[in-house]
Amino acid sequence: MGEDARDYTIDELMVVTLARQFRNEDIVLNGTVSFIPVAAILLARATHAPGLTWIAGAVGVDAQPEPLIGNTLDPTMWKRCVMYLPQEHMWSYVHRGVLETFCIRGAQIDKYGNVNNTVIGDYARPKVRLPGSAGMGDMGSLDKRIFIWTTAHTPRTFVERVDFRSCAGYLEGGDSRERLGLKNGPQLVITNLCVMDFEPQSKHMRLKSVHPGVTVEEVQARTGFPLIVPKDIPKTELPTVEEIRLLREVIDPHGMRRREFRSTSGRE
Protein backbone atom coordinates (compact mmCIF):
# COMPACT_ATOMS: atom_id res chain seq x y z
CA MET A 1 0.00 0.00 0.00
CA GLY A 2 2.95 2.34 0.50
CA GLU A 3 3.93 4.88 3.09
CA ASP A 4 1.21 6.59 5.18
CA ALA A 5 0.64 10.25 4.43
CA ARG A 6 1.10 12.66 7.32
CA ASP A 7 -0.16 15.64 5.39
CA TYR A 8 -3.79 15.12 4.33
CA THR A 9 -7.15 16.85 4.79
CA ILE A 10 -10.54 15.43 5.72
CA ASP A 11 -11.88 15.63 2.14
CA GLU A 12 -8.86 13.61 1.02
CA LEU A 13 -9.32 11.01 3.76
CA MET A 14 -12.98 10.62 2.69
CA VAL A 15 -12.07 10.28 -0.99
CA VAL A 16 -9.37 7.69 -0.25
CA THR A 17 -11.65 5.68 2.07
CA LEU A 18 -14.38 5.60 -0.58
CA ALA A 19 -11.89 4.81 -3.37
CA ARG A 20 -10.73 1.67 -1.53
CA GLN A 21 -14.29 0.26 -1.62
CA PHE A 22 -14.38 0.03 -5.42
CA ARG A 23 -13.51 -3.29 -7.03
CA ASN A 24 -11.62 -3.82 -10.23
CA GLU A 25 -14.67 -5.34 -11.96
CA ASP A 26 -17.12 -2.60 -10.88
CA ILE A 27 -19.07 -0.49 -13.35
CA VAL A 28 -19.95 2.78 -11.63
CA LEU A 29 -21.79 5.90 -12.66
CA ASN A 30 -22.03 9.17 -10.75
CA GLY A 31 -24.86 11.60 -10.15
CA THR A 32 -25.18 15.33 -9.61
CA VAL A 33 -22.94 17.31 -7.21
CA SER A 34 -20.79 14.24 -6.55
CA PHE A 35 -17.19 15.42 -6.51
CA ILE A 36 -16.15 13.09 -3.69
CA PRO A 37 -17.39 9.93 -5.49
CA VAL A 38 -15.95 11.10 -8.82
CA ALA A 39 -12.54 11.79 -7.27
CA ALA A 40 -12.75 8.40 -5.49
CA ILE A 41 -13.62 6.53 -8.68
CA LEU A 42 -10.71 8.13 -10.52
CA LEU A 43 -8.36 7.40 -7.62
CA ALA A 44 -9.45 3.75 -7.51
CA ARG A 45 -8.85 3.48 -11.25
CA ALA A 46 -5.39 5.01 -10.85
CA THR A 47 -4.43 2.63 -8.03
CA HIS A 48 -5.88 -0.78 -7.10
CA ALA A 49 -8.73 -1.00 -9.64
CA PRO A 50 -7.39 -0.19 -13.13
CA GLY A 51 -10.19 -2.24 -14.69
CA LEU A 52 -12.98 -0.24 -13.06
CA THR A 53 -15.43 1.21 -15.58
CA TRP A 54 -16.72 4.69 -14.87
CA ILE A 55 -19.67 6.20 -16.73
CA ALA A 56 -19.04 9.90 -16.26
CA GLY A 57 -22.17 11.83 -15.37
CA ALA A 58 -24.12 8.71 -16.47
CA VAL A 59 -23.10 9.52 -20.07
CA GLY A 60 -19.37 9.30 -20.85
CA VAL A 61 -18.34 5.63 -20.89
CA ASP A 62 -14.78 5.10 -19.58
CA ALA A 63 -14.10 8.86 -19.72
CA GLN A 64 -10.70 10.39 -18.90
CA PRO A 65 -11.33 13.96 -17.71
CA GLU A 66 -8.36 14.38 -15.37
CA PRO A 67 -7.96 17.01 -14.07
CA LEU A 68 -11.53 17.65 -12.95
CA ILE A 69 -12.80 21.11 -13.97
CA GLY A 70 -16.59 21.15 -14.33
CA ASN A 71 -19.58 20.01 -12.28
CA THR A 72 -20.16 16.28 -12.08
CA LEU A 73 -22.80 16.08 -14.83
CA ASP A 74 -20.99 18.55 -17.10
CA PRO A 75 -19.89 17.56 -20.62
CA THR A 76 -16.32 18.37 -19.55
CA MET A 77 -16.55 15.12 -17.52
CA TRP A 78 -17.10 13.10 -20.71
CA LYS A 79 -13.64 13.89 -22.10
CA ARG A 80 -11.96 11.06 -24.07
CA CYS A 81 -14.88 8.69 -23.42
CA VAL A 82 -15.51 5.72 -25.72
CA MET A 83 -19.28 6.36 -26.02
CA TYR A 84 -21.97 8.85 -25.13
CA LEU A 85 -24.40 6.50 -23.43
CA PRO A 86 -28.03 7.21 -24.41
CA GLN A 87 -29.98 7.56 -21.18
CA GLU A 88 -32.48 4.85 -22.06
CA HIS A 89 -29.53 2.43 -22.44
CA MET A 90 -28.16 3.65 -19.11
CA TRP A 91 -31.46 2.87 -17.40
CA SER A 92 -31.63 -0.59 -18.96
CA TYR A 93 -28.15 -1.37 -17.56
CA VAL A 94 -29.12 0.00 -14.15
CA HIS A 95 -32.43 -1.87 -14.03
CA ARG A 96 -30.98 -5.14 -15.20
CA GLY A 97 -28.06 -5.02 -12.78
CA VAL A 98 -25.15 -4.57 -15.18
CA LEU A 99 -24.32 -1.58 -12.98
CA GLU A 100 -24.23 -2.62 -9.37
CA THR A 101 -22.64 0.21 -7.38
CA PHE A 102 -23.85 3.73 -6.62
CA CYS A 103 -22.88 6.49 -4.18
CA ILE A 104 -25.43 8.80 -2.59
CA ARG A 105 -25.74 11.47 0.04
CA GLY A 106 -28.76 13.16 1.57
CA ALA A 107 -30.04 15.59 4.15
CA GLN A 108 -31.20 12.86 6.55
CA ILE A 109 -29.87 9.32 7.03
CA ASP A 110 -31.51 6.96 9.53
CA LYS A 111 -30.28 4.00 11.56
CA TYR A 112 -31.31 1.53 8.84
CA GLY A 113 -29.60 3.46 6.05
CA ASN A 114 -32.76 4.96 4.57
CA VAL A 115 -32.03 8.39 3.10
CA ASN A 116 -34.14 11.53 2.75
CA ASN A 117 -33.44 14.33 0.29
CA THR A 118 -37.08 15.32 -0.30
CA VAL A 119 -38.61 17.24 2.63
CA ILE A 120 -38.20 18.01 6.31
CA GLY A 121 -41.66 17.81 7.86
CA ASP A 122 -44.85 17.03 5.95
CA TYR A 123 -44.59 16.26 2.22
CA ALA A 124 -47.44 18.50 1.10
CA ARG A 125 -46.53 21.44 3.31
CA PRO A 126 -42.87 20.96 4.26
CA LYS A 127 -40.93 22.87 6.86
CA VAL A 128 -37.95 22.59 4.50
CA ARG A 129 -38.27 21.65 0.85
CA LEU A 130 -35.06 19.82 -0.10
CA PRO A 131 -33.86 19.43 -3.71
CA GLY A 132 -35.36 15.97 -4.30
CA SER A 133 -34.70 12.25 -4.53
CA ALA A 134 -33.39 12.11 -8.11
CA GLY A 135 -31.41 8.90 -8.75
CA MET A 136 -31.54 7.73 -5.13
CA GLY A 137 -35.26 7.04 -5.54
CA ASP A 138 -34.26 4.51 -8.17
CA MET A 139 -30.99 3.09 -6.93
CA GLY A 140 -32.22 2.10 -3.47
CA SER A 141 -34.89 -0.11 -5.06
CA LEU A 142 -32.76 -1.54 -7.87
CA ASP A 143 -30.51 -3.88 -5.88
CA LYS A 144 -27.47 -1.59 -5.81
CA ARG A 145 -24.56 -1.79 -3.41
CA ILE A 146 -24.90 1.69 -1.99
CA PHE A 147 -22.17 3.81 -0.47
CA ILE A 148 -23.48 6.76 1.50
CA TRP A 149 -21.29 9.79 2.09
CA THR A 150 -21.90 13.02 3.97
CA THR A 151 -19.67 15.93 4.88
CA ALA A 152 -22.00 16.91 7.75
CA HIS A 153 -22.00 14.32 10.53
CA THR A 154 -24.52 15.95 12.88
CA PRO A 155 -27.64 14.86 14.81
CA ARG A 156 -29.64 16.76 12.17
CA THR A 157 -28.26 14.46 9.45
CA PHE A 158 -28.24 11.17 11.39
CA VAL A 159 -31.79 10.73 12.64
CA GLU A 160 -33.72 7.91 14.28
CA ARG A 161 -36.20 7.88 11.40
CA VAL A 162 -36.15 9.90 8.16
CA ASP A 163 -39.05 12.33 7.60
CA PHE A 164 -39.42 10.98 4.06
CA ARG A 165 -37.89 7.85 2.58
CA SER A 166 -36.43 9.06 -0.74
CA CYS A 167 -34.05 6.11 -0.94
CA ALA A 168 -34.82 2.59 0.21
CA GLY A 169 -32.13 1.40 2.61
CA TYR A 170 -32.86 -1.46 5.00
CA LEU A 171 -36.41 -0.07 5.50
CA GLU A 172 -37.55 -1.17 8.99
CA GLY A 173 -34.40 -3.22 9.59
CA GLY A 174 -34.01 -6.99 9.92
CA ASP A 175 -35.20 -8.80 6.79
CA SER A 176 -37.72 -6.13 5.74
CA ARG A 177 -35.70 -5.13 2.67
CA GLU A 178 -35.27 -8.74 1.60
CA ARG A 179 -38.97 -9.49 2.10
CA LEU A 180 -39.83 -6.74 -0.38
CA GLY A 181 -37.59 -8.51 -2.92
CA LEU A 182 -34.81 -5.93 -2.86
CA LYS A 183 -31.24 -7.20 -2.96
CA ASN A 184 -27.98 -5.63 -1.70
CA GLY A 185 -28.48 -2.19 -0.10
CA PRO A 186 -26.31 0.25 1.88
CA GLN A 187 -22.79 -1.07 2.45
CA LEU A 188 -20.91 1.73 4.18
CA VAL A 189 -21.47 5.26 5.43
CA ILE A 190 -18.43 7.53 5.13
CA THR A 191 -18.58 10.84 6.97
CA ASN A 192 -16.25 13.64 8.03
CA LEU A 193 -15.87 11.85 11.42
CA CYS A 194 -15.95 8.11 10.85
CA VAL A 195 -16.89 5.06 8.80
CA MET A 196 -19.98 2.98 9.63
CA ASP A 197 -21.47 -0.24 8.31
CA PHE A 198 -24.61 -2.24 9.12
CA GLU A 199 -24.89 -5.12 11.59
CA PRO A 200 -25.79 -8.16 9.43
CA GLN A 201 -28.84 -9.37 11.40
CA SER A 202 -30.60 -6.20 12.58
CA LYS A 203 -29.29 -4.03 9.68
CA HIS A 204 -28.72 -1.34 12.31
CA MET A 205 -25.91 1.18 11.67
CA ARG A 206 -22.67 0.21 13.39
CA LEU A 207 -19.45 2.12 13.97
CA LYS A 208 -16.57 0.63 11.99
CA SER A 209 -13.69 3.08 12.40
CA VAL A 210 -13.11 6.63 13.59
CA HIS A 211 -10.97 9.13 11.71
CA PRO A 212 -7.68 10.13 13.42
CA GLY A 213 -8.33 12.73 16.13
CA VAL A 214 -12.01 11.76 16.52
CA THR A 215 -13.32 9.85 19.57
CA VAL A 216 -16.11 7.27 19.73
CA GLU A 217 -17.92 9.53 22.22
CA GLU A 218 -17.79 12.44 19.80
CA VAL A 219 -19.28 10.33 16.97
CA GLN A 220 -22.07 9.09 19.26
CA ALA A 221 -22.78 12.64 20.49
CA ARG A 222 -23.16 13.83 16.92
CA THR A 223 -25.42 10.93 15.86
CA GLY A 224 -29.15 11.24 16.58
CA PHE A 225 -29.62 7.56 17.55
CA PRO A 226 -27.57 5.02 19.54
CA LEU A 227 -25.02 3.40 17.23
CA ILE A 228 -23.94 -0.18 17.62
CA VAL A 229 -20.40 0.23 18.97
CA PRO A 230 -18.19 -2.90 18.95
CA LYS A 231 -15.54 -3.20 21.64
CA ASP A 232 -12.49 -2.29 19.63
CA ILE A 233 -12.92 0.54 17.17
CA PRO A 234 -9.86 1.03 14.97
CA LYS A 235 -8.70 4.28 13.44
CA THR A 236 -9.68 4.76 9.80
CA GLU A 237 -6.76 3.67 7.64
CA LEU A 238 -4.64 6.61 6.53
CA PRO A 239 -4.15 7.63 2.91
CA THR A 240 -0.78 6.78 1.41
CA VAL A 241 1.67 9.39 0.18
CA GLU A 242 1.03 8.19 -3.37
CA GLU A 243 -2.77 8.44 -3.09
CA ILE A 244 -2.49 12.03 -1.87
CA ARG A 245 -0.04 12.89 -4.66
CA LEU A 246 -2.38 11.44 -7.32
CA LEU A 247 -5.34 13.35 -5.91
CA ARG A 248 -3.55 16.68 -5.64
CA GLU A 249 -1.44 16.59 -8.76
CA VAL A 250 -3.28 14.47 -11.32
CA ILE A 251 -6.94 13.89 -10.53
CA ASP A 252 -8.16 17.00 -8.77
CA PRO A 253 -5.53 19.78 -8.61
CA HIS A 254 -8.29 22.43 -8.56
CA GLY A 255 -9.75 20.97 -5.37
CA MET A 256 -13.27 20.41 -6.76
CA ARG A 257 -13.76 17.78 -4.01
CA ARG A 258 -13.74 20.55 -1.40
CA ARG A 259 -16.87 22.14 -2.93
CA GLU A 260 -18.94 19.54 -1.11
CA PHE A 261 -17.99 21.10 2.16
CA ARG A 262 -19.57 24.40 1.08
CA SER A 263 -23.20 23.43 0.87
CA THR A 264 -23.55 20.24 2.88
CA SER A 265 -26.26 17.64 2.42
CA GLY A 266 -28.35 19.80 0.11
CA ARG A 267 -29.22 22.31 2.82
CA GLU A 268 -27.96 25.80 3.34
Partner 1 sequence: MAARKANKVVTLAEAASLVRDGDVVALQGMGTQMSPLALVRELIRAGKRDLTIMMIVGGIGLDWLIAAGCVRRVIAIIVNLDEFGMAHAFRRAVEAGEVVMEEYSEHQLLSRLLAAAYGLPFLVTRSGLGTDLLAIHPETMRVIVCPFTGQKVVACRALEPDVAILHAHRADAYGNVQFFPKPIWLDADVFPRAAKKVLVTVEEIVENEEIRRTPIHTGIPYFKVDAVVEVPYGAHPCSLYPLYSFDRALFQEYASASRTVEGTRAFLEKYIYGPTSHHDYLQRVGGAGTLLRIRKWE
Residues that bind partner 1 (CB under 8 A): 32-33, 59, 71-76, 84-88, 91, 94-95, 117-118, 123-129, 131-138, 140-142, 164-168, 171, 177, 180-182, 259, 263, 266-268
Residue 262's contacts (CB-CB under 8 Å, 6 or more residues apart) are none
Instruction: Supply the minimum distance, in Å, between the C-beta of residue 42 and partner 1.
Output: 18
- The least distance separating partner 1 from the CB of residue 176, rounded to whole angstroms, comes to 8
2 close to 27: Cβ distance less than 8 angstroms: no
Asked if residues 242 and 217 have their Cβ atoms less than 8 Å apart, the reply is no
Residues 6+ apart with CB under 8 A from 30: 37, 38, 41, 54, 55, 56, 57, 58, 72, 103
Burial label, 218 (beta-carbon count in 10 A; 0-12, 13-18, 19+): middle
Query: Per DSSP, which regions of the chain are E strands?
Result: 27-29, 53-56, 60-61, 83-84, 101-104, 108-110, 115-116, 119-121, 126-129, 145-149, 158-159, 185-190, 194-198, 205-210
